[in-house]
Amino acid sequence: MLGEKLRALFRKDAGPVSSSAPHFTPLRKPQKPELPSTRQSRGLEQFFFSIRDVVGLQVLDCAGASQDNINFLINLGHKVYTQDLVRNIDEAFGPGLAEQTNPGRIEYFLTQNFEYPSYSFDGVLLWDALQFMSPALLTATVDRLYEVMRPNSYLLAFFSASERATEVPSYAFRIVDNKTLQLTERSLRPAAQVFNNRNLEKLFAKFESVKFFLTRDNLREVIVRR
């Protein structure tokens, strides 16, 4: 549906589609599909610790409509909104980073994914989506998230800690309990940029605080307080 709307938006009054339209290289699937892995997550534990003893919160889960995640959050007494942010990036811009600098497409992407009133959310589970955004799209997305999050709300995001990787895996995330995740690799994607602690502190400069957890599997977990 998002892809159809986007095509209609950009083809209006444009005539036939030219054969010279940009070509996007398909994302690579892992050579050997990995079985889901289960591991402890300090970031997830910190996220749920920050909203402990509170019910009726509004949480945005960007892992897509994962029934396990929805059930877990609802059982805690929260209201859940979902977006598959990684898939929506591809539908809005195509694979690769070239089209992610187009201001019109960026605004359309933000409208489709974050068209909520200011101060809507008490928590945002972003997972690994931000690391697949170009600088222009990344900055615009973080700015919009700042608008829709309430003061003292929390955001959880994951980034590859490898500074030399040209490709990084994208995962599907399933919440097992308040400190355990099941990860299933979806695809290998181009690394948009390096995300070290200094760069992430700069990215979330508007926010109140940023806390890092480095895991054994070379994944940097980040908790951000609005």
The answer to whether position 20 is within a domain reads: no
The answer to whether position 125 is within a domain reads: yes
The answer to whether position 5 is within a domain reads: no
Q: In this predicted model, what pLDDT tens digit does every residue of 111-127 receive, in sequence order?
A: 999 999 999 999 999 99
- pTM recorded for the entire structure: 0.81
The answer to whether position 29 is within a domain reads: no
The answer to whether position 81 is within a domain reads: yes
φ, ψ dihedrals at 221, nearest 5°: -95, 135
The pLDDT assigned to 166 comes to 81
- Indicate whether 105 pLDDT > 60: yes
The answer to whether position 6 is within a domain reads: no
How far is 223 from 207, CA to CA, in rounded Å? 11
pLDDT class for 34, splitting at 50, 70, 90? low
The pLDDT assigned to 167 comes to 87
Instruction: Please indicate whether residue 58 or residue 187 has the higher confidence score (pLDDT).
Output: 58
218: left (phi over 0), alpha (psi -120 to 50) or beta: left
pLDDT class for 27, splitting at 50, 70, 90? low
How far is 58 from 203, CA to CA, in rounded Å? 24
| Unique residue bearing structure tokens 């989506």 | 129
Average pLDDT score, the chain: 85
> What is the domain extent for residue 83?
34-225
Number of structural domains the chain divides into: 1
How far is 200 from 202, CA to CA, in rounded Å? 5
The answer to whether position 28 is within a domain reads: no
pLDDT class for 58, splitting at 50, 70, 90? very high
- Indicate whether 199 pLDDT > 80: yes
CB 145 within 8 A of CB 124: yes
The pLDDT assigned to 109 comes to 96
pLDDT class for 25, splitting at 50, 70, 90? very low
Residue 127 neighbours by CB under 8 Å, 6+ apart: 62, 63, 85, 156, 157, 158, 171, 173
Q: In this predicted model, what pLDDT tens digit does every residue of 210-222 receive, in sequence order?
A: 999 988 778 899 9
Write the CATH number for 193: 3.40.50.150
Instruction: Please indicate whether residue 131 or residue 192 has the higher confidence score (pLDDT).
Output: 131
The answer to whether position 18 is within a domain reads: no
Q: At what angle do helices 2-11 and 85-93 cross, to 10 degrees?
A: 20
